[in-house]
Amino acid sequence: MNPPLRSQRDVARVQEAVVRGELAAIATDHAPHAEHEKAVEFDRAPFGVIGLETALGVAIKIFVESGKMEIADLIHRMSLGPAHVVGLNKGRLAVGADADLTLVDLKSEWEVREQDFLSKSRNSPFIGWKLPGRVVHTLVGGRALYQDGKVK
């Protein structure tokens, strides 16, 4: 969201670069701004929206459901890709690797609703969207931190 993509042409070019593999990572910095911070003149508001809770579903919808990319390529770009960019030994399943896992029900569809966000923020351009791929379980370092809509 910073810099914001100004036109549909900009958006299309970024998506094409992802599909071609020119952009090796898809990530979000999850910028959860309080409502009062965003409720100001556009040029005074901080950049960003919450993205962590919707990133996978939006990416599946845009890239996989459209047939532009296989799910395995998308998963790679959202796991190993970002880890490689920042130099972390993450994003892969291997003996001795951290057990950071996200289990996703790819057949499940869900609606983005403001009241369902776990973040302290609610500013999302995707409210009302129906998205594929519900996250059902998350492990970080082998420890269960999220299951079926609840933070543990």
Residues identified as active-site: 29
Phi/psi of residue 136, nearest 5 degrees? -110, -20
Residues 14, 7: Cα–Cα separation, whole Å: 11
Which residues are CB-neighbours of 98 under 8 A, at least 6 positions away? 89, 90, 140, 141, 142
Residues 62, 59: Cα–Cα separation, whole Å: 5
Nearest to 25 by CA among 59, 48, 2: 59
- Calculate the CA 89 to chain-centre distance: 20
